[in-house]
Structure 1
Amino acid sequence: MTGPRPPFPGRIETADPIWRLWHELPPQWRGPIIGPEVENWDKITENDSARIRLHDLPETIAAELAWMAHWQARDGTRSSVLATNQLANIIRRAIGDRHPFPPSIRAMDWDQAAALQRWFYATRWGRLPPHGSIARLRVLFRFARLALVARCHDGHWWQLDDWHPRCDPRIPLTEREPQGNYGCSPGQIHHRWLREAAKWQLGTALEAGTLRWSTVSQERIKCLTRFDRWLSTIDDPLRVLGDPTDASVHAATFRRWDTDPANRLLRNNDRRFADRSVHPRQINDDLRAVGELFAFVAGNRAAAPRLLDTAPWSPVTEAHAAGWLRQVTRIKHTREINDAHYVDDHAMSQILAALPLLGLPRDQQMLISGDGGTSVAADGFDDPQAMRMILLQILTGRRASEIRTCRFDCLSAPPASAVPGEQITRFHYAQTKIDSAPDTILVDRQVAEIIGEQQRWVTGKFPDHEPRFLFVQRNGNRTGGKPYPPGTYAWVLREFSDRVQITDSRDRPVRLSHTHRFRHTRFTRLAELGLPIHVLQRYAGHATPTMTMHYIAARQQHAEQAFLATVKLKADGTRIQFSRDDHDSLHLFDRADRRLPHGWCLLPPLQTCDKGNACLTCSVFVTDATHRTVLQRQLDDTTELINRTTTEFEDTHGRPMPDDNIWLTHRRTEQQALTRLLDALPPEPERTAGSCCSRPAVAGPIPLPLPTPRTQP
């Protein structure tokens, strides 16, 4: 056996699918020796001039290894020459020693390959394989084997146990979801009847567009995997498919089990979250996933026999789904004074001061503040991409995925309506969550410089290729076509947080791995600057203003500052004391019928006023500094009215108007009230010469000096 020899070409369609793939390979990639005739071989392999040798192997395995090596080169990774040759040597030795092995790479999972490797090292060198050899062979059985299995599978793509868009182009993705980002494994669901139904339902939802790949791979599979783990704790798992009247009981039992954080952990490295409380929304997601699965199977009973083992599912009806969905609780959305997701200035200053440590090479150090205020030398992380990503999140308020997967040429010219002279640029971010939402914002020079610096860094790393993404994967990305991995970003920020120990003004730790807090912070600061809600919604990329308001942190400090900035005064010149819960009185400021020319009336809406226009003698009248001009004019008019009327009274009656005259008493009361109010109001701010506010408001046209036109030379 010198290499793969396919069956007669006319019978390829009826033969093993691997031969269809083998015939699609370029001739120089078909073996048995791969390398000498491949262009730029030293650049697409991990070992320069080393060759892949597939002689004396079973034809099917030789063809599979050749296709996997070529797929790695096309995928942008380097072909695993050493791992492929090692596996070939193991199989050749197994043939010579008559040691059993699977008939193909597709039939050989990682556990079988690792067992063969241990046997090979034990029989040849009398020891176990070193860690490097295990890791090298493991790479071959990750994406390359998944791609091989997917390309040779002629059924529905969702029938496979491992889903990854990078390896299987049949998986439907939206235009805004980059391929190769992450995968999932429905094969982790142990109960076969549940696993097959889950794959059918989720695959159909993806093809129909009712669910996105990000939702399926990151949420739904985990929800159903937790349901599968709970089924293993009960005596007869099929009881959940039995009497529909017991569906609510089973759902309630699962709900109690799901509330325990320890029961929700799906990986060993998630143990650090074991002590965290479970939000009711997370439990609702699990209950909803099970209920929708039952509803899908019950609603597609006619198609089930062709795609599913219907024996366990035959009793399931819509009543089962209703019983599970009834356990989904309603979560009240209340807006309370809450700044848990807000990064204050104290923490932000520490973050910006420590960020250079992320981009510093590993062989260099930087002084950071340690416990007790002492300075500690810390090694760099050698990840300038992570440093720029978190900077862009802080400055723009974008989601981590929108920065991490944005395209390389993400800057464009500003609109024609931009202010001349302002260095404004349009930034195209990777909006992957809402199809109808915008995917551009205007950014300033600082953001544009950070993006330009990153573009130069990527161009230097991949001079021979045109990068697709602004932030790229550093390893296994020969052509620069893969985005920065989300797991790497989260890990780097966790390690960075552990080292620099950022705290806020209340001495609470700030975890930088929770980058969504920067989105809350950015929108909160824009809202506090007075940005209108419809403009803030457009900047946030939200479909509704309600969602935007959830991101605005109701900071107690800002609420008190805004309250003190609008001090209200009574007619006697004293400040009115509002409690924080006095929402009814504050609401009266928005009522048009309670607005007065010189203040507001705090009389409850259901009561009537018997004062007429004598508000300055009323206890529920309030005003503030915004009415200074009106109050001063009223004081001048009232003083003039008193002087004119008393003079006319004396000329007519020959004696002064008595002090107990009811009209004079009310006018002098108003005069005294106006005087006290004006004295109690804070002084007006000084206006500098040339200020736009220094000129008093006038009615009619305003004269503008026009420059004298210059004559042409």
Structure 2
Amino acid sequence: MTNERRSQHLRTIGAGDPIWRQWQTLPPEWRGPVLGPGISNWAEITENDWPRLDLSRLPDAFVAELVWMAHWQACDGTRVAVLAMAQLANIVRRAIDEEHPFPPSIREMDYDAAAALQGWFYASRGKRLPTRKGRARLRVLFGFARHALIAACHAGPWWQLDEWHPRCDPRIPLTNREPVANYGCAPGQISVAWLRSAVKWHLGTMLESGVLRWTTVSQERLKSFRRFDNWLTTCLADPADVLADPTAAVEQAAAFARWIADPRNRVTRESDTRHLGKPVPIRGINDDLRAVAGLFEFVAANAVEARAVLGPSPWQQVTTTHADSWFGRVTRIPHQRGFDDANYLDDHALTQITAALPLIGLPRDQQLTLTRGDRSTITADGLDDPQAMRMILLQILTGRRASEIRTCDFDCLSAVPDQPQAGEARALTRFHYAQSKIDVAPDTILVDREVTEVIAEQQCWVRTQHPDRSRRYLFVQRNGNRSGIKPYPSGTYNWVLRTLSDLVAITDSKGRPVRLSRTHRFRHTRLTRLAELGLPVHVLQRYAGHATPTMTMHYIAARDEHAEQAFLATAKLRADGTRIQLSSDDHDSLHLFARADRFLPNGWCMLPPLQSCDKGNACLTCSVFVTDASHRQVLQRQLRDTADLIDRATTEFEKRHHQPMPEDNVWLTQRRAEHAALTRLLETLDSAPDAAAHGATPARREPSAGPVALTLDLSRHRRSRP
């Protein structure tokens, strides 16, 4: 391209169209109107083999906008939409030639206007409408690239825009623990103008101040305001009446609460329809009421700023009475939640899940035969997503949240200093996960070799996919991520989980269906199993990454099976192996009085506190001696020592007297009785659970209940190659 042709599109930077300020920041080879020549990696960053993109004969603003969007796509890691831009250029050129009207710029042309122009182009040229593929190609331009263009040319606060996308607008504040999301939100969809302006200002201020996070604003708070907007336009003759009479605010809040209690009125997007037919939880109604009350409170507390930002509007009537009335309709939820096992996955369900994991990583041209939860057999095609397979596996093994695995750093493992030498197979590593929910909570845990191997294989997979790129995330987006800097999207992960659930139809031991889309159940299960191993609450809290032990205890499932077995494990046994019932006096003797002379190396003495013992060390033949599973190792050692003592004494007796020791020998009779008592005790203990035994140290404890060690065939689940 000659300098004369390039100079035709130069504009003075100043008070004119802001697109020219953005155009001026582009490298010279990216300023058009012909792209391709001079761009070294053009073939790598474009979606096809076209050597060039010709935007000549287009209006100047169109050229500047399209070349800026192409450069943004290249920097974003997606491929430049050459086909869509070339098609749009042909459409605009034909419209110019035939004097057909069209918007003056891409910023003023939304997808509907572009689709109408495309329809005219096809109909006037070939008497037919564009194909679905052709319309989809054009839609690419009016997604992220156009949003980024509008944000770059917008001179006011970012929250004034109708579309919010952190990926397209770096001005939107994110915390250090929030990755740049692929999803956005659209406050511009609020139909009531005065409400839309206030919501933008309110949520933008809350984000910038750090009171709210992007995840809360985009996925929860804006939905509440969308429902409030629907209620205003549906149920009130004049939406501004909600801000008029403060005495009517209580009844209006109650009417809104009744309205949003209907699942049909909560639908703000297509995905919400899956909740139809299900009762609306009180917590969801409360969240909507708090959102509206918080907006009223914010505007009332900042009346001067509201007049400057919002101008003349119904908001001038809002008072703190409105906010208090809406807050007053929030229903108090009693915190009387009992422990249950509703979120616990038993071994029956986990076995089915781990058996189905290879299907996720299997290529699409391969099949796997599986047994469904209803015991039927299916043969299904692979889902070709080894990343999702490893993510599920890591959630099962570590109990981390889905977001903490999905967005964790690529270099997430570090050595543990001063680690005791416990053998290579049990070596521990520190795992740094993406703690994005609680700022004050820890973000590391110790993991074993099994977890380390899964992470190492994922790192190898990423290196193979992006050999020459800088790697930030352990799990990366596969499409539209040429540079490998975008994390694995949550929508894709949820789709894989739903698909696998539908195929395998997993059930637990009680026949109840288990939906894999509820991955938080893996967290409940992991913490429950650690609790059943006897870990103290403060250790569980540290492992879970919670700010308070109260939250940690909500994750512990009260399984009847474990409760029964743990109770049986505390049973006290006599020397003959029979159980005894302890009265309150007995407990007083053992614990309240804390009598040191009643604590024996291998059990307890139940002799009343005021009586004395004259039996010496003959406890195993005493009727008031009791013990339990916490003394198993002492009893086992005593059994071995007693057997060795009997063998040594009888051998020396025979050598000295040249005849065997008689069975009625006083000493031998007592030792035989002790040996028999120890044998009976250990046989009884071996036949009963023992994990909840009081006084046992963590090193001696074994799992006390239903949870059994689950062996996972890791090599079968994973693929190291792309």
Same fold at TM > 0.5: yes
Q: What is the SS of the residue equivalent to 1:232?
A: helix
Partners of 1:411 and 1:590 lie apart in 2 by: 51
Deviation, structure 1 residue 93: 1.1
1:498 equivalent in alignment to 2:502: yes
1:563 equivalent in alignment to 2:567: yes
Deviation, structure 1 residue 567: 3.3
Match of 1:665 in 2: none
8 Å contact kept, 1:4–1:60: no
> Which one-letter code corresponds to 2:119 in the other structure?
R
The equivalent position to 1:305 in structure 2, one of 307, 313, 329, is 307
8 Å contact kept, 1:150–1:167: yes
8 Å contact kept, 1:304–1:310: no
Q: What is the SS of the residue equivalent to 1:438?
A: coil
Kindly tell me: are residues 590 and 432 of structure 1, through their superposed partners in 2, closer, same or farther at Cα, counting changes over 3 Å? farther
Q: What is the SS of the residue equivalent to 1:441?
A: strand
Q: CA RMSD in A?
A: 3.1
Deviation, structure 1 residue 678: 4.8
Kindly tell me: are residues 629 and 371 of structure 1, through their superposed partners in 2, closer, same or farther at Cα, counting changes over 3 Å? closer
Partners of 2:601 and 2:369 lie apart in 1 by: 51
8 Å contact kept, 1:598–1:627: no
Deviation, structure 1 residue 48: 2.2
The equivalent position to 1:320 in structure 2, one of 322, 325, 333, is 322
Partners of 1:483 and 1:83 lie apart in 2 by: 26
Kindly tell me: are residues 598 and 30 of structure 1, through their superposed partners in 2, closer, same or farther at Cα, counting changes over 3 Å? same
8 Å contact kept, 1:343–1:521: yes
Partners of 1:157 and 1:468 lie apart in 2 by: 27
Deviation, structure 1 residue 526: 0.5
- Equivalent pairs counted in the alignment come to 629
Match of 2:471 in 1: 467
Deviation, structure 1 residue 494: 0.3
8 Å contact kept, 1:4–1:62: no
> Which one-letter code corresponds to 1:629 in the other structure?
W
| 1:218-237 alignment runs, 5 A limit | 218-234=219-235, 235-237=237-239
Deviation, structure 1 residue 517: 0.7
Match of 1:358 in 2: 360
Match of 2:681 in 1: none
The equivalent position to 1:413 in structure 2, one of 412, 415, 420, is 415
| 1:223-302 alignment runs, 5 A limit | 223-234=224-235, 235-302=237-304
Kindly tell me: are residues 141 and 565 of structure 1, through their superposed partners in 2, closer, same or farther at Cα, counting changes over 3 Å? same
Kindly tell me: are residues 285 and 632 of structure 1, through their superposed partners in 2, closer, same or farther at Cα, counting changes over 3 Å? same
- Calculate percent identity across the aligned residue pairs: 59
Q: What is the SS of the residue equivalent to 2:293?
A: helix
Kindly tell me: are residues 684 and 204 of structure 1, through their superposed partners in 2, closer, same or farther at Cα, counting changes over 3 Å? closer
Kindly tell me: are residues 388 and 640 of structure 1, through their superposed partners in 2, closer, same or farther at Cα, counting changes over 3 Å? closer
Kindly tell me: are residues 693 and 80 of structure 1, through their superposed partners in 2, closer, same or farther at Cα, counting changes over 3 Å? farther
Kindly tell me: are residues 481 and 324 of structure 1, through their superposed partners in 2, closer, same or farther at Cα, counting changes over 3 Å? same
Match of 1:49 in 2: 50
> Which one-letter code corresponds to 2:346 in the other structure?
D
8 Å contact kept, 1:524–1:551: yes
Deviation, structure 1 residue 597: 6.8
The equivalent position to 2:440 in structure 1, one of 413, 430, 436, is 436
Deviation, structure 1 residue 576: 4.8
Q: What is the SS of the residue equivalent to 1:355?
A: helix
Deviation, structure 1 residue 437: 1.3
Deviation, structure 1 residue 596: 6.7
8 Å contact kept, 2:589–2:609: no
Match of 1:91 in 2: 92
More divergent stretch after superposition (127-136 vs 74-83): 127-136
Kindly tell me: are residues 105 and 400 of structure 1, through their superposed partners in 2, closer, same or farther at Cα, counting changes over 3 Å? same
1:537 equivalent in alignment to 2:525: no
Q: What is the SS of the residue equivalent to 2:391?
A: helix
Q: What is the SS of the residue equivalent to 1:233?
A: helix
Deviation, structure 1 residue 306: 2.1
The equivalent position to 2:606 in structure 1, one of 631, 646, 665, is 631
Kindly tell me: are residues 221 and 679 of structure 1, through their superposed partners in 2, closer, same or farther at Cα, counting changes over 3 Å? closer
Kindly tell me: are residues 640 and 131 of structure 1, through their superposed partners in 2, closer, same or farther at Cα, counting changes over 3 Å? closer
Partners of 1:683 and 1:299 lie apart in 2 by: 63
8 Å contact kept, 2:476–2:486: yes
Deviation, structure 1 residue 522: 0.6
8 Å contact kept, 1:598–1:631: no
Match of 2:715 in 1: none
Partners of 2:246 and 2:507 lie apart in 1 by: 52
Deviation, structure 1 residue 631: 2.9
Q: What's the TM-score once normalised by structure 2's chain length?
A: 0.82
Partners of 2:626 and 2:501 lie apart in 1 by: 54
> Which one-letter code corresponds to 2:428 in the other structure?
I
Kindly tell me: are residues 545 and 310 of structure 1, through their superposed partners in 2, closer, same or farther at Cα, counting changes over 3 Å? farther
Match of 2:486 in 1: 482
Match of 2:37 in 1: 36
Match of 2:675 in 1: none
Superposed CA deviations along residues 21-76 of structure 1, whole A, max 9, x for unmatched, are: 01111111111110021111110000123421110111001100010000000000
Superposed CA deviations along residues 381-416 of structure 1, whole A, max 9, x for unmatched, are: 000000000100110111111100111111111122
Match of 2:388 in 1: 386
Partners of 1:352 and 1:139 lie apart in 2 by: 38
Q: What is the SS of the residue equivalent to 1:629?
A: strand
Partners of 1:222 and 1:693 lie apart in 2 by: 69
Match of 2:174 in 1: 173
Deviation, structure 1 residue 270: 2.9
Partners of 1:420 and 1:17 lie apart in 2 by: 65
Match of 1:607 in 2: none
8 Å contact kept, 2:429–2:449: yes
8 Å contact kept, 1:118–1:128: yes
8 Å contact kept, 1:358–1:381: yes
Partners of 2:512 and 2:279 lie apart in 1 by: 18
Deviation, structure 1 residue 627: 8.7
Deviation, structure 1 residue 535: 1.1
8 Å contact kept, 2:571–2:628: no
Match of 2:694 in 1: none
Match of 1:148 in 2: 149
Partners of 2:417 and 2:516 lie apart in 1 by: 34
Deviation, structure 1 residue 418: 4.5
Partners of 1:339 and 1:456 lie apart in 2 by: 38
More divergent stretch after superposition (262-271 vs 21-30): 262-271
Match of 1:550 in 2: 554
8 Å contact kept, 2:164–2:186: yes
Partners of 1:233 and 1:683 lie apart in 2 by: 68
Match of 1:449 in 2: 453
Kindly tell me: are residues 291 and 16 of structure 1, through their superposed partners in 2, closer, same or farther at Cα, counting changes over 3 Å? same
| 1:368-379 alignment runs, 5 A limit | 368-370=370-372, 373-379=375-381
Superposed CA deviations along residues 155-200 of structure 1, whole A, max 9, x for unmatched, are: 0000001101110000111111111342111112111111110000
Partners of 1:448 and 1:359 lie apart in 2 by: 19
More divergent stretch after superposition (175-184 vs 450-459): 175-184
Partners of 2:119 and 2:505 lie apart in 1 by: 44
Partners of 1:330 and 1:694 lie apart in 2 by: 62
Deviation, structure 1 residue 555: 1.5
Deviation, structure 1 residue 257: 1.1
Q: What is the SS of the residue equivalent to 2:393?
A: helix
More divergent stretch after superposition (678-687 vs 447-456): 678-687
8 Å contact kept, 1:3–1:55: no
Match of 1:331 in 2: 333
Partners of 1:167 and 1:213 lie apart in 2 by: 14
Deviation, structure 1 residue 574: 7.9
Match of 2:686 in 1: none
Match of 1:667 in 2: none
Q: What is the SS of the residue equivalent to 1:137?
A: helix
- Asked which structure has the greater RCO (Cα within 8 Å, sep 6+), the reply is 2
Superposed CA deviations along residues 616-667 of structure 1, whole A, max 9, x for unmatched, are: xxxxxxx9x99943237989945669xxxxxxxxxxxxxxxxxxxxxxxxxx
Q: What is the SS of the residue equivalent to 2:94?
A: helix
| 1:567-582 alignment runs, 5 A limit | 567=571, 576=581
8 Å contact kept, 1:597–1:630: no
> Which one-letter code corresponds to 1:313 in the other structure?
W
